[in-house]
Structure 1
Amino acid sequence: MSQLTRYLQDTAADNICYGCGNSNPHGLHIKSFWHEDGVHLVAEHLPDSKYCGWPELVYGGMIAMLVDCHSNWAAMAYHYRMENREMASQPQIGCVTGDLGIKFIKPTPMGVLLTLRAKVEGSVGRKTRIICEVYAGDVLTAVGDSVFVRVDTEQLATAAHGSKA
């Protein structure tokens, strides 16, 4: 990643993901960046009131989506780093969710900036385990423990739709 590009999502052209895609006009546009410790990938997000579950609490599905998108970027960034490559370099490295686990620890209040901190817990072959903590202010409210699988994006699109990505 160049010094001028802070957010990993800014390195991806035509990313239409609802959670993190720059090209999705209706999306959340999550932005992930490397923490100064060089270990954690961090993102911040303030959920809109339309993502309320219980009164004054963030909808659990929103938390799961944030964890999923942010953790996926952590997995992809890890693979680029292991290959000593820039984030936008070709061939593109893509990952998909193999297993998404969320443990809700405390209610997540609306109106509080959420901070996501993800790190690689381990990697075997094409699979990477990511732990992602969700904080509302200084309070840990959820933890994601998920596995992401490295894929060839063209093969994935062909398998899913019978066409190229």
Structure 2
Amino acid sequence: MSPQGLSLQDRAAPDMVCYCCGPAHPTGLHIKSFWDEGGQHVVTRHTPRPEFTGFPGLVYGGLLAMLVDCHSGWTAMAWHYRDEQREPESSPRIQCVTGNMNIDYLKPTPMGVELVIRGQLEGHLSRKSRVLCEIWAGDVLTVKASTVFVRADTDRLRAMAHGSLVGATHLR
């Protein structure tokens, strides 16, 4: 847990409106990510709400992918803040976006169980960093994922997506 007791999301981006991890989303999941005691993993816990049932009694796989995506992104950002020896509240804000995500659904994930999602950096931290993520339902590993997160200027990405950057054809 952070010295202030607040999650990475609450510290770094209290105004973020992402459905999964944004503290400011009015009806979102509001996942909260923290460094573990050993400082090697970033961890969050989440108990899926009934509307995220896939097959009866099982968690919808799309929710699991969303949890992996957001938590892995926060894992990458946490490592960038640490590497720069900065607190998450500091400016400028560090932002990472999903470059690639591969998920292995190993076992069915049961509803009604608190999930523990653990992320860790694999290899060296750089502009494009690999994050490994696991979802545990009790003592059962149900999901393993490998993601690549890219440190990015999200204002520029937003402008590109809305056609505001003339001549921009790809990320640089």
| Structure 1 match to 2:27 | 26
| Structure 2 match to 1:4 | 4
Describe the SS at the equivalent of 1:123: coil
Describe the SS at the equivalent of 1:65: helix
Contact kept? 1:35, 1:42, Cα under 8 Å: yes
| Structure 1 match to 2:167 | none
What amino acid maps onto 1:3 in structure 2? P
Q: How does 1:1-165 map to 2 (within 5 A)?
A: 3-11=3-11, 12-123=13-124, 125-162=126-163
TM-score of the aligned structures, taking structure 2 as reference length: 0.90
TM-superposed deviation, 1:74: 0.3
Unmatched tracts of structure 1, length 5 or more: none
Cα distance in structure 2, aligned partners of 1:134 and 1:125: 25
- How many residues align? The count is 164
Describe the SS at the equivalent of 1:154: helix
What amino acid maps onto 1:149 in structure 2? V
TM-superposed deviation, 1:160: 1.6
Cα distance in structure 2, aligned partners of 1:94 and 1:83: 13
Contact kept? 1:32, 1:70, Cα under 8 Å: yes
Cα distance in structure 2, aligned partners of 1:39 and 1:125: 17
Describe the SS at the equivalent of 1:22: coil
Cα distance in structure 2, aligned partners of 1:139 and 1:125: 32
**1:40-60: CA deviations, max 9, x gaps?**
000000001110111100000
Cα distance in structure 1, aligned partners of 2:124 and 2:149: 9
Once the two structures are overlaid, the 10-residue window that deviates more, 17-26 or 121-130, is 121-130
Cα distance in structure 2, aligned partners of 1:20 and 1:87: 15
TM-score of the aligned structures, taking structure 1 as reference length: 0.94
With over 3 angstroms needed to count, the CA separation of the structure-2 counterparts of 1:89 and 1:162, relative to structure 1, is: farther
Contact kept? 2:2, 2:34, Cα under 8 Å: no
Identity of aligned residues (%): 56
TM-superposed deviation, 1:14: 1.2
Q: Find runs of 4+ consecutive structure 1 residues off by over 6 angstroms.
A: none
What is the root-mean-square deviation of aligned Cα atoms in Å?
Answer: 1.6
Unmatched tracts of structure 2, length 5 or more: 165-172
Contact kept? 1:2, 1:86, Cα under 8 Å: no
TM-superposed deviation, 1:124: 5.6
TM-superposed deviation, 1:157: 1.7
TM-superposed deviation, 1:92: 1.1
